[in-house]
A and B are shown apart, each in its own frame.
Chain A
Amino acid sequence: MARDLAIDLGTANTLVYMKGKGIVLNEPSVIALNRQTGEVLATGREAWQMIGRTPGYIVAVRPLRGGAITDFEITERMIRLLLQRVGVSRFSRPKVVICVPSAITEVERRAVTDAARRAGAADAQLIEQPMAAAIGADLPIDEPVGNMVIDIGGGTTESAVISLGGIVALEAVRVGSFDIDAAIQSYVRREHGIAIGERTAEEVKMAIGSAAPTEDEAQAEVRGRDLMTGLPRTVILTPEEVRFAIDDPVSSIISSVARCLAKSPPELAQDFLNRGMFLVGGGGMLRGLKQRIEKETNVPVRMSNMPLEAVVLGAGHCIEHYDALKGMFMGARR
């Protein structure tokens, strides 16, 4: 008998929480397929290692890239495999709560819940990521105070104000940390004439990327393929030029936070100033981002101590208290 599950189906990482047990799976949301037969060859970490390194007949993809479900069929197969791996079968029909970007369309929502039901879930409910994040980040959302969460993931940035267990204001954009990787890739191509893969770009971001000047900055050596000669070449990137390269996506992320603040009722402004805004999601770990948001919004920002797990823990809490928290599910409102 499989236990009820909560799933954070992120564009970058997938986490699964099992009722009564905790987080039982945490891996990249990547699937590798045989192009010809359509067979699944690998998922998760194994598939992630293949990105950009596959022979022609294999393709390793992130089906949720861009915060949207770009390929329904692959997404469905991923959900099915995921449920199988945590022990769901035709005979054990658990309830499942799935976190999705709040910007997804009605059609995408249906696709996700249908996929989960076809894969063996007795019931599949959706919950918005920032709502789950607020529960999981341990914010006092049971009180009549404004709690603002900012969730910066791989493909999306979602900010929400939550008070008394409900969403007061919400702002979501399909810009996230992957867009920062892409900006690094195109900068290096344009300014240094070399092509680098998305994983290399991500490494550069983690190693020296920043949204504002920080202490002890270092340079990074980057290896790629020279666009003119086609041969491998190494270039040195400075933190200043990476900051310049990623300024567009970073600014979009910050403007979306500002828009969420602007949508909030004035009564809550005080709460934000006193309590600050809470930053979760892997993208929020970019160096200097916290400081930059603080500077541009004049509101203090606090980092969650579990930025990558907050969402799945929040959804996990909803699975633990399923009946009492039914009202939080998308479509059940309020």
Chain B
Amino acid sequence: MIVLVIGIVVVVAVVAALVVLRRIPRHDTGVTRFQRHIDALSPEARRAVIDRGTQHPDGRREQRDN
């Protein structure tokens, strides 16, 4: 009998814990993802690509006459 009561209490506790956990918004995934997005747009992150544009001869070639 006691075993059964303890069993029910454990199950209820686990379910309650799960419900509570699901209710806490998962802040950090959104925050991390947004931060990654913003970091990838920072001037430092973009430097390499922009420099490639200014160096590459192909990039500047066929403009004026078209």
Partner-B contacts on A (CB < 8 A): 12-13, 15, 17, 21-28, 45, 48, 135-136, 138, 140-142, 164-165, 206, 282, 306, 308-309, 312-313, 316-317, 320-321, 324-325, 327-328
Contacts and interface: CB of A to CB of B under 8 A. Distances in A.
Size bin of chain B's contact surface: 20 to 34
B27 interface: no
A317 B37 contact: no
B38 to A, nearest CB: 5
Contacts of B38: 142, 164-165
A206 B60 CA distance: 17
B41 A165 contact: yes
Contact of A325 (B41, B48, B54, B62): B41
B53 A321 contact: no
Prevailing SS type, chain A contact patch: mixed
A206 B40 contact: no
B42 A142 contact: yes
A231 B45 CA distance: 59
B49 A313 contact: yes
Contacts of A22: 52-53, 55-56, 58-59
Contacts of A164: 38
Contacts of A12: 66
Contacts of A317: 45-46, 49
27 contacts: A12-B66, A17-B49, A21-B52, A22-B55, A22-B58, A23-B58, A26-B58, A26-B61, A26-B62, A28-B62, A48-B66, A136-B49, A142-B43, A164-B38, A165-B37, A165-B38, A282-B63, A306-B54, A309-B53, A309-B60, A313-B52, A316-B52, A324-B36, A324-B37, A324-B39, A324-B40, A325-B37
